[in-house]
Amino acid sequence: MDLFSVVAEWFPYLVEGILVTVGLVASALIIGACLGLPMAIGQVYGSRPLKYVIGLYVWFFRGLPVLVLLFMFYFTIFPLLNLDLDAFFVGATVLGLRGAAYQSQIFRGAIQSISEGQMTAARSLGMSRAAAIRTIIIPQAVRIALPGWSNEYPNILTDSAICYAIGVAELLTRTSQIVTQTYITMPIYILCALMFIMLNFAGMRVIAYLEKRVAIPGFSGGGQAGIV
Partner 1 sequence: MDETAQFIDFCINILFPALADGLMITVLLVLITAPFGIAFGVLLAVGRVYGKSYGNWICRLFVGFVKGCPLMLLLFILYFGLPTVPYVGVTFDAFTASIIGFICCNSAYNSEYVRGAIISVKEGQLIAASALGMTKRQAIMYIVLPQALRRAIPGLSNEFIYLIKYSSLAYMITLVELTGAGKIVFTKYFEPGVFFVVGIVYLALVTVTTVGANALEKKYAVPGTQKR
Q: What are phi and psi of 124, to 5 degrees?
A: -70, -20
Q: Which of 11, 52, 55, 59 binds partner 1 (CB under 8 A)?
A: 59
Could you tell me how many residues make up the chain?
228
Contact present, 20 and 171 (Cβ < 8 Å): yes
Tell me the closest approach of the beta carbon of residue 127 to partner 1, in angstroms.
31
Number of neighbouring beta carbons within 10 Å of residue 12? 9
Q: Which of 65, 139, 167, 223 binds partner 1 (CB under 8 A)?
A: 65
Q: Which of 45, 57, 71, 78 binds partner 1 (CB under 8 A)?
A: 71
DSSP labels for 159-220?
HHGGGGGGT--SHHHHHHHHHHHH---HHHHHHHHHHHHHHHHHHHHHHHHHHHHHPBTTB-
Residue 157 identity (one-letter amino acid)? L
Tell me the closest approach of the beta carbon of residue 100 to partner 1, in angstroms.
17
Using CB under 8 A, which residues numbered 160 to 179 contact partner 1? 160-162, 164-165, 172, 175-176, 179
Q: Which of 6, 18, 26, 64 binds partner 1 (CB under 8 A)?
A: 64
Applying CB under 8 A, the residues found at the interface with partner 1 are 59-60, 62-68, 71-72, 75-76, 79-80, 154, 157-162, 164-165, 172, 175-176, 179, 185-186, 189-190, 192-193, 196-197, 200-201
